[in-house]
Amino acid sequence: MVAVDLGGELQAVQFGDERLSKRAIQIAERLQQSPNASIPAAMGTKNELDACYEFFDNPKVTQQKILQPHIEATYRRIEQTDSVVCAQDTSEIDLTRPKQQVQGAGPMDCESRRGAFFHPVVAFNLDGVALGLLGQKTYVRETLSTLTPSQKTDQRRRTPIEEKESIRWLEGLTMTHQAALACPETICVCVGDSEADIYELFVAKSQIATSNLHILVRAGQNRNTTDREDWKDQVRRSPVVGEQVVNLRARTAKVGIGKSARSRSREARTAQLEIRTAVVDVARPIHASKDLLASGRVNVVLCEEVNVPEGEDPICWMLVTTLPIDTEQDVQRVIRCYCIRWQIEVFFKTLKSGCRIEHRRFEEIDRIKNALAMYAIVAWRLMYICHMGRSCPDVGCEIIFEPSEWKSVYAILGAGNP
């Protein structure tokens, strides 16, 4: 573990204006001390508050410029480990306001809910420690589609990937690729959930020669092999290579009864899984661009529940990867890497509950985007601190906190109290 202070983390930030660079460090130091407080409370004085708002509104300030020194620091942390999970996912940033809406915010699932979509790539070591962000994309929808489901399907098939929201998954792969190039001795695994099951992602990875870059995606599509067989059926014909027991937490459906197993309620239980593996040649989808490769070879680890309790949906994880699956150790690493992906959900919760990003009162979406970049780094630091508190309880607080931080807490709690 290394010390992490946001002032030092952003020391190399560049906006083409030294005053802005100094201001970025000052803002980061204030926000890390009071991540849950409002910006006026965190800044302390009116002059600092005015300077903070002017900073986020400055045209020279962008998400990428704020993040860049942190990304480079993340590379240095990645270099210290053998393998990292580079988890990417998308979360809603709900900016709906009761009166005046944020300028530039777009519709979410309906016109009355306004906001943006946040898609970061966060690096974790194989112990689940957050090492930092590799990049992020924040985008808004211009309008909601009024097409019927069949029309949407037809439009989606005719639209190139570059014009779809799903291009974010390929951009996440690019961010992971940059990390792999910067850290050639570390295996970088780009991990996504079932939304990342995109044929173009498989093709993109096959065209990258970087040997320490891999992908790992949970299957979410019915796909054919080059033998015109369902890829899951092919894996199911393979012998069982292992068994595993997992503890499932109870889950309550948010609204009614969902169509998919992942959206339905379930009781807590212990599930027994059978594990199978196979090498699969996936055929290019019928409606995909003919410019794409006709097929792509991937490794698959299929984990399916046996002896499923009556009334419960069986667990079925089909993990598609370019990582090797030759040995039991290889297979366990694939499963472990996918399990670590869930840490990005903790990151989102930290950003929304711990940093209250959706409650920041900016009038324009560009200011929100800049603030989101800064708070994303703060959220990462909170996760890092929490993990250190659990795994290294005897380490001195000076490795994380500045004297002004730990001394104030010490004074508030009361020195010498039993």
Facing residues of 130 across strands? Answer: 124
Report the 10 Å Cβ neighbour count for 5.
18
Average of per-residue pLDDT values in the chain: 89
Q: How confident is the model at residue 134 (pLDDT cuts 50, 70, 90)?
A: very high
Higher pLDDT pick, 262 / 283:
283
Residue 3 clears pLDDT 60, i.e. is over it: no
- Confidence label for 39 from pLDDT (cuts 50, 70 and 90): very high
Q: pLDDT tens-digit profile of 76-89?
A: 999 999 999 999 99
C-alpha to C-alpha distance for 340 and 79, rounded to whole angstroms: 19
Architecture in CATH of 6-415: Alpha-Beta Complex (3.90)
Q: How confident is the model at residue 114 (pLDDT cuts 50, 70, 90)?
A: very high
Task: Read off the pLDDT of residues 360-378 as tens digits, 9 standing for 90 and up.
Answer: 989 999 999 999 999 999 9
Could you tell me the pTM of the whole model?
Answer: 0.88
Cα dihedral across residues 357, 359, 361, 366: positive or negative? positive
pLDDT at 412: 45
Residue 146 φ/ψ, nearest 5 degrees: -110, 10
Q: What is the pLDDT at residue 408?
A: 46
Residue 274 pLDDT greater than 80, yes or no: yes
